[in-house]
Amino acid sequence: MKPHCDFLVIGSGLAGLAFALKASEIGSVVVLSKAELSSANTPMAQGGIAAVMSTADSFEQHIQDTLKAGAGLCHPQVVRAVVEQGPERIEDLIQWGVQFDADATKVLELTREGGHSARRILHVGDHTGLEIHAQLLQQAQKNPKITFVENNLALDLITNKQVEPFDMSPVRCLGVYSLNKQTGVVESLTAKMTILATGGAGKVYLYTSNWGGATGDGVAMAYRAGARVANMEFMQFHPTCLFHPQNRTFLISEALRGEGAELIGPQSEAFMKKYHPQGSLAPRDIVARSIDAEMKRTGVACVHLDASHLGKEFLQQRFPLIYNKCLSLGIEIHREPIPVVPAAHYLCGGVVTDLFGQTDIQGLLALGETACTGLHGANRLASNSLLECLVIPHNAVQKIKENWPQIYHWSTPRPPPWPLHDKEDADELMVVTHMWDEIRRLMWDYVGILRSNGRLQRAQHRLANIRKEIKHYYSNFKTQSDIVELRNIATVADLVVSCALQRRGSVGIHFNIDEPEAPTDLSVPGSRDSILGPGSMNELS
């Protein structure tokens, strides 16, 4: 592993790879992956990527759909900047080898998803993220300027304050401490620029569509280093995750509803129209709450998504991944409906950044789901996430090019060694597994689709006690990935609860039964962005 590089990218999903490919034009890049390179949320994205690519659509329509889905909390200038870059960033993907579905005349096939007023979702079957990730990874692996390091878990950011505590200059990131999961050795990696592209935090919840490593590492590290985070209460619950004892994380793409699949209750009745005029294609927060309400009203463990009327041939061709996965579990979706439930899916909040990915800390960028740019507001519009993962990295590299002479001459002093602890106790470490489970169940039960002030306060109190225990294990036991990730999900869970308690009224994904009305005056603190800075939580870890 190279101990120093120009750009250290933490995360191997779409945002990290897009940045790496473009930044390699400037200098050397190291991409750090906590597991194998294919392990990320991007390959699990089924639906597609939203962009205005048809004369029947317009930037204004896409902008308005995004603002409406975000329940008035999106930052309009960010929405416009991202949407208007859409066609150019799609061209980047095509140049990198992505072949989107098209008809015989090579006209792109566009589908529609919830909250969209037009067909604008480009896709590759129902495995768009998998194809995009594979093509970008292939391009990056051929690039001599890019080095990949697998199975290395970032532990904490290194800042100038750690090297020189009395340094009066602004906080600047110098790199990261990283745990080699195979050898157990902790190394320090330094860089001119450090880029957090660690994805989301779905594993904070008991049920999630995310991959197993989505533990909010980037958000937790940035917060501990002094960066602000915002809108962490806006964890989007995808309405339709497969409900099956053998698989609780498989996503049933919203694109299936975009093609006409209908949500039905236990008597095979379509129920969404009574909750929203757009029915099964209403924004995700509304669909998730509606499903939750139907399950509670009828006492069933799940609802069903009926796509049988679309026909076997169409389903096999358009949704091969979903069709075959369900078939392997004994569900013939051309004959019977699919059992589905909501699951934690996408974090709309994160580390506060601008349109160039810049955080509060010099030399530290945050991209993709790790960042809170203001694009998503209180609820992400379907398929806008992959677009954001292309636009912000592009902007970041353009900005770096303008300032590279100055950045290049930043000093990168040797950081202090990582503190070593050798204690290992198998019986004691069993408690770590129990705390993992306790946090995730606590968040699901108290900070899920519906919240209340009492539940949030109880969650905050219980998390404070759990974090005290985690501090003991983290400070006294040998550094290992389970404890590190537990520390991170506890920090992120506390941030989610703290933001939810700060939020006034119910808006978008955040629904507080004690304050069901949306705020009418967004100038009131806690009504637009719920922002937490250093010291705003009880810092136990």
Question: Does 9 have pLDDT greater than 60?
Answer: yes
Dig out the tokens for 411 from the structure: 């000093």
Residues in the chain, total? 541
Q: What is the pLDDT of residue 321?
A: 93
- Between the alpha carbon of residue 91 and those of residues 86, 97, 130, 368, the distances in Å are 9, 10, 18, 19
Question: Does 413 have pLDDT greater than 80?
Answer: yes
Task: Report, as an integer, the average pLDDT of 336-365.
Answer: 97
- Between the alpha carbon of residue 349 and those of residues 146, 155, 158, 366, 375, the distances in Å are 29, 21, 23, 12, 10
Task: Report, as an integer, the average pLDDT of 214-232.
Answer: 97
Alpha helix ranges (H) inside 412-480: 426-446, 453-476
Task: Report, as an integer, the average pLDDT of 351-355.
Answer: 97
Q: Which of 135, 134, 58, 56 is nearest to 92 (CA)?
A: 135
Question: Does 541 have pLDDT greater than 50?
Answer: no
Q: Which of 150, 199, 154 is nearest to 37 (CA)?
A: 150
Asked if residue 142 lies in contact with residue 279, where contact means CB atoms within 8 angstroms, the answer is no
Catalytically active residues are: 284
Q: Please give the Cα distance from 353 to 372 (Å, whole number).
A: 6
Question: Does 539 have pLDDT greater than 80?
Answer: no
- Between the alpha carbon of residue 377 and those of residues 233, 309, 499, the distances in Å are 11, 35, 14
Question: Does 522 have pLDDT greater than 70?
Answer: no
Q: Which of 256, 220, 12, 289 is nearest to 111 (CA)?
A: 256
Q: Which of 140, 176, 74 is nearest to 412 (CA)?
A: 176
Q: Please give the Cα distance from 137 to 383 (Å, whole number).
A: 20
Task: Report, as an integer, the average pLDDT of 239-265.
Answer: 92
Q: Which of 451, 245, 241, 255 is nearest to 342 (CA)?
A: 241
Token pair 């005029």 in the structure block, residue: 277
Q: What is the pLDDT of residue 343?
A: 94
Asked if residue 191 lies in contact with residue 7, where contact means CB atoms within 8 angstroms, the answer is yes
Domains identified in the chain and CATH numbers? 1-234+348-541 (3.50.50.60), 238-345 (3.90.700.10)
Q: What is the side-by-side strand order in the sheet with 350-352?
A: 371-372, 350-352, 229-230, 531-532
